[in-house]
Structure 1
Amino acid sequence: MKTTIAKIGNHVEQSVTIGAWLANKRSSGKIAFLQLRDGTGFIQGVVVKAEVEESVFQLAKELTQESSIYVTGIVREDKRAPSGYELTVQEIQVIHEAKDYPITPKEHGTEFLMDHRHLWLRSKRQHAIMRVRNEIIRATYEFFNEQGFSKVDPPILTGSSAEGTTNLFHTKYFDEDAYLSQSGQLYMEAAAMALGKVFSFGPTFRAEKSKTRRHLIEFWMIEPEMAFMDHEDSLVVQEQYVSHVVQAVLANCKQELQALERDTSKLENIVAPFPRITYDEAIDMLKKEGHEIEWGEDFGAPHETAIAEKYDKPVFITHYPAEIKAFYMKPDPNREEVVLCADLIAPEGYGEIIGGSQRIDDEDLLKQRYDEHNLSEESYQWYLDLRKYGSVPHSGFGLGLERTVAWMCGVEHVRETIPFPRLLNRLYP
């Protein structure tokens, strides 16, 4: 009977066949231990010399790392094994013999591993990270579908920018200038005026020449937008969404988190509501701790980490100065110099994972912002139309998938949280 490692628990004490790759092995004179993987998980195959034909045992000893094989054996329960099972091997059939596999069990440098990213993905750690990433994506669709959102796909090629063209990749669109999208937000606002509550999930691009552990050139964003929702309403959706995703990962990725040696006690506490502080309070807090920062300056990584250390949950920092935020954010009616926005800072030094705000819904004020930010009214006329024809209070946010994966996995650098990272000096493989 053919099965997969993920479903092997359904066949205890039965003989099954799995297609697998040999991740690693060790052997003595009378027994060989094969570490097998098939994409759904990892399991140990045990080949006992006295219980198989001599040719099978000899083949097990000669198998090379990453060779592909069909393995037939009896499924046994084993509470010591990460999966809870192991395979007593009866037969082995080689599909393809791999020779001189470059990523051996020894230590390799980061650049070497990045050059071989197409193979590095096969390792147990990288496999676990990708599985957690997949669960976050699955739980994202689950949450927004249950909450009545419609999935909408904004364009990747755009004629204008959501936040200014400084960090955009420019290209020619026949005879026009075009850019790779840095956010689907403006288009999602249009979609929200048609469908009420919407979300997008897709790639975004920032031509930011940054080499920090939190930055990628190409990354994936989840961007919900909601009509008839104010800033406070949006914060509730954000904390419920993040809570839902964290709890889904805890429930469905136990083996992966174990393989990553993640301290899950820090994730178990991630349940809404989340603490909130204002930008003013954050500045005061940082100054008291000796940080050199003045009102009106944006927070860097050390500032975000210092603030996050005070909490065991993600923390919202709200009401930033208008001058350091995007043109479309709605001013606080009680205090025009700050806007109705929030960044959600993850615990444990992982920085901002969500940025969101209530959007300007007044046509005249948006025109004023166009002037202040030197934005072409001709390019942004369609965006102005949303305030011209049935404008409503509306809010939205964007969550960066890779930073969220890094936080939940306890991974230091975002380059490990996307299958094929695009970094400042890396476009290969």
Structure 2
Amino acid sequence: MKITINQAGSHVGETVTLGAWILNKRSSGKIAFLQLRDGTGFLQAVVVKEDIGEDLFKTAKGITQESSLYVTGVIKEDARSDFGYEMEVTNLEIIHEAVDYPITPKAHGPEFLLDNRHLWLRSKRQHAVMKIRNEVIRATYEFFNNEGFTKIDPPILTGSAPEGTSELFHTKYFEEDAFLSQSGQLYMEAAAMAHGKVFSFGPTFRAEKSKTRRHLIEFWMIEPEMAFCEHEDSLEVQENYVSYVVQSVLKNCVLDLKILGRDTEKLAKVAAPFPRISYTEAIDRLKEWGFDDIEWGDDFGAPHETAIANHFDLPVFIINYPTKIKPFYMQPNPDEEGTVKCADLIAPEGYGEIIGGSERINDLKLLEERINEHGLDPESYSYYTDLRKYGSVPHSGFGLGLERTVAWLSGVEHVRETSPFPRLLNRLYP
């Protein structure tokens, strides 16, 4: 019977066959230990010379890292293993022998590993990060489907910019100018006027020349948009969504978190509601904490966000930012002049902003004024202003960056590890 590693627990005491690759191996006298991987998990296979004979034992001892093979044996329980099972080998068949595999069990620099990203993905650590990424995606669909959202796919090629024109990738669209999408938000607003509650999940692009551990050139965003929804309602959806995703990862990625050495105690505390602090209060506190370099009206940098996050055990909302540092579409805050009804959600442990959201302007005249103030072409946004002409309603939405969220949940330092093939400044390969 052919099975996969993650099915081993259902076949204890049975003789089964696995298709696998050799992650690593060691031998001691007349016993060899093969560390197998097959994409679903990792398993130790024990090869005893007197059980399989001289020739097969010699083959087992000589097999090279990342060679592929079929391994047949009996599944046994193993309390010493994190996985809980191992295989006693009765036969093995090499499919392909790998020679001089470049990523050996030793330390390698990040540039070397990124050059070999297509192979680095096979490592136990990277496998765990991608499994957590997959769980975040799975839980995202589950949450929004359960909450009555409809998934709508916005275009990747656009003729306008939601976040301003300075970070756009320009391309030609036959005879017209076009840009790679920075966000699906404006199109999601149109979809919300048709379906009420919608979300998108897709790639976005920022031509930002940044090399920080929090930035990628191409990243994935989950962007919900809700009609008849004011800012406070949106904040509640955001904290419930993040709490749901965190608890799903804790429940379904136990082995992956353990492989990464992730301290899960802080994650276990993540449950709505989240604390909130106004932008103005955050500025005052930062000054009290010795940040003399920041003034009201400045945007926060990584050290400022980290200092604020370290003051709380949970993700924290920073609300009501100054109008002048936020995009044109955000609804003014009537309770604090010069600010808008928005929030950034800052993850704990120095991982920075993972969500940005706001209530959107629903008044046509004000939106047109904002478009002009930002020097944008009104004609390019005519579809967007149409939404305020024909049945405008209060509406809100937000965007969650997948890679930053996965970095936080995984405990990895750099977002380049949370994208299967990261696009960084000066890196398009592989």
Cα separation, 2, equivalents of 1:228 and 1:333: 18
CA drift of 1:150 comes to: 0.3
Residue aligning to 1:95:
95
- Give secondary structure in 2 for the equivalent of 1:336: coil
Cα offsets for 1:374-425 (capped at 9, x unmatched)? 1111110110000000000000000000000000000000000000000001
CA drift of 1:327 comes to: 0.2
- Give secondary structure in 2 for the equivalent of 1:160: coil
Cα separation, 1, equivalents of 2:257 and 2:216: 23
- 1:16-415 to structure 2, matched below 5 A, reads 16-291=16-291, 292-415=293-416
Cα separation, 1, equivalents of 2:82 and 2:427: 35
**Could you state the TM-score of these two structures normalised by the residue count of structure 2?**
0.99
Identity of aligned residues (%): 73
- Give secondary structure in 2 for the equivalent of 1:161: coil
Report the AA paired with residue 261 of structure 1.
G
Q: Which moved more, 1:31-40 or 1:334-343?
A: 334-343
**Could you state the TM-score of these two structures normalised by the residue count of structure 1?**
0.99
Report the AA paired with residue 379 of structure 2.
E
Cα separation, 2, equivalents of 1:107 and 1:370: 52
Give 5+ residue unaligned stretches, structure 1: none
Report the AA paired with residue 404 of structure 1.
T
Cα separation, 2, equivalents of 1:80 and 1:233: 48
- Give secondary structure in 1 for the equivalent of 2:3: coil
Cα separation, 2, equivalents of 1:240 and 1:26: 47
Residue aligning to 1:10:
10
Cα offsets for 1:174-214 (capped at 9, x unmatched)? 11000000000000000000000000000000000000000
Cα offsets for 1:290-323 (capped at 9, x unmatched)? 1021000000000000000001110000000000
Cα separation, 2, equivalents of 1:350 and 1:425: 23
Cα separation, 2, equivalents of 1:62 and 1:45: 15
Report the AA paired with residue 343 of structure 1.
D
Report the AA paired with residue 212 of structure 1.
T
Cα separation, 2, equivalents of 1:407 and 1:79: 30
- Count of residues in Structure 1 that have an aligned counterpart in Structure 2: 429
CA drift of 1:348 comes to: 0.1
Report the AA paired with residue 143 of structure 2.
F
Cα separation, 1, equivalents of 2:374 and 2:128: 44
CA drift of 1:334 comes to: 2.6
- Indicate the RMSD between aligned Cα atoms, in angstroms: 0.6
Give 5+ residue unaligned stretches, structure 2: none
- Give secondary structure in 2 for the equivalent of 1:277: strand
Report the AA paired with residue 396 of structure 1.
G
Cα separation, 1, equivalents of 2:14 and 2:214: 47
CA drift of 1:19 comes to: 0.3
Cα separation, 1, equivalents of 2:57 and 2:388: 74
CA drift of 1:21 comes to: 0.2
Cα separation, 2, equivalents of 1:13 and 1:329: 62
CA drift of 1:56 comes to: 1.5
Cα offsets for 1:18-45 (capped at 9, x unmatched)? 1000000000221000000000000000
Residue aligning to 1:421:
422
Cα offsets for 1:114-141 (capped at 9, x unmatched)? 1000000000000000000000000000
- Give secondary structure in 2 for the equivalent of 1:223: strand
Moved over 3 A (4+): none
Cα separation, 1, equivalents of 2:265 and 2:95: 42
- Give secondary structure in 2 for the equivalent of 1:316: strand
Cα offsets for 1:148-187 (capped at 9, x unmatched)? 0000000000001011111010000011000000000000
CA drift of 1:335 comes to: 2.7
Cα offsets for 1:2-32 (capped at 9, x unmatched)? 1101111000010110100000000022100
Report the AA paired with residue 407 of structure 1.
W
Cα separation, 2, equivalents of 1:90 and 1:196: 59
Cα separation, 2, equivalents of 1:370 and 1:256: 46
Report the AA paired with residue 108 of structure 1.
H
Cα separation, 1, equivalents of 2:70 and 2:250: 32
Cα offsets for 1:211-250 (capped at 9, x unmatched)? 0000000000000000000000000000000000000000
CA drift of 1:82 comes to: 1.5
